[in-house]
Amino acid sequence: MGLLDGKVAIVSGAGGGIGRAEAMLLAREGAKVLVNDVGGLRDGSGAEPGSGNPARDVVDAIVAAGGTAVANHDTVATPTGAAAIIKAAVDAFGRVDLLVNNAGILRDKSFLKMDEAMWDAVIEVHLKGTFLCSQVFAKQIVTQGGGGRVVNTTSVSGMLGNFGQANYSAAKAGIYGLTRTMSIELQKHRVTVNAIAPIAKTRMTEDLPMFQGLDTLTPEHIAPAALFLGSDLCGDRTGHVLAVAGARVYAFKVVETPGRFKETENGVWTGQEIADSWDGIVKA
């Protein structure tokens, strides 16, 4: 018996890296998987030379291992593409139960050199794509009578920032906010919404300095988090960000400091008073 027997899962951006590892593991645990990938370059422009059909390759690997899967090549970044992805899963398997929003691209550039096209492209795939696919998925879940799970993909860059990734960091921070709001609004439909903040060496990250010579942060370390959040093991937990870096699993939370009160009649602080009390205001 697998954790996802009888379930239908959609994994976007599943042609390689983390998405591939997630799709493979979900299938091994009994899910019927729609493997979505447009087969583009890391920056989202065109097909990678010699890449063939990544989504089909993953499907073939799942089927060869005894699982069930279909390939899909629609983009997450348009309403028609998102609708086509969910429809393809319903057409193939009759229903949907789990959506893993993993698709993404990178167009890194320092803030002062980043142009609008770089900004728009990354926001469109990561943040807009997560919104569009999640909305269509959630509407289908409501049609089915409720009960489902969404696993989004945010990032340490979105939580803490990262040099050269203003567009990516903004998109991933937006996904955190989207995850929180979706988790609140979809509770009444018995849909849990959580996110993963992965650190892994993939095609997206392999040329970054932190990953040079490091092979202990693999996509296979990330996939069990998606399995947990997408299965009944998650229970009614919702609105969380589970971070994974190799063998370490931890959580990101937005915290509020106790702060300080100004004990005067009107309670209005001056700029100088804030400066003088800074440590007491920001100390957790």
**Which residue numbers are catalytic?**
168
How is residue 232 written in tokens?
């009944």
What is the enclosing helix (H) or strand (E) of 51? none
Structure token pair of residue 1 = 């018996």
Query: Among 76, 70, 78, 74, which residue's Cα sits nearest to residue 94?
Result: 70
Give the SS3 label for residue 248: strand
Side chain identity, residue 92:
A
Contacts of 123 by beta carbon, 8 Å cutoff, 6+ apart: 167, 170, 171, 174
CB 102 within 8 A of CB 153: yes
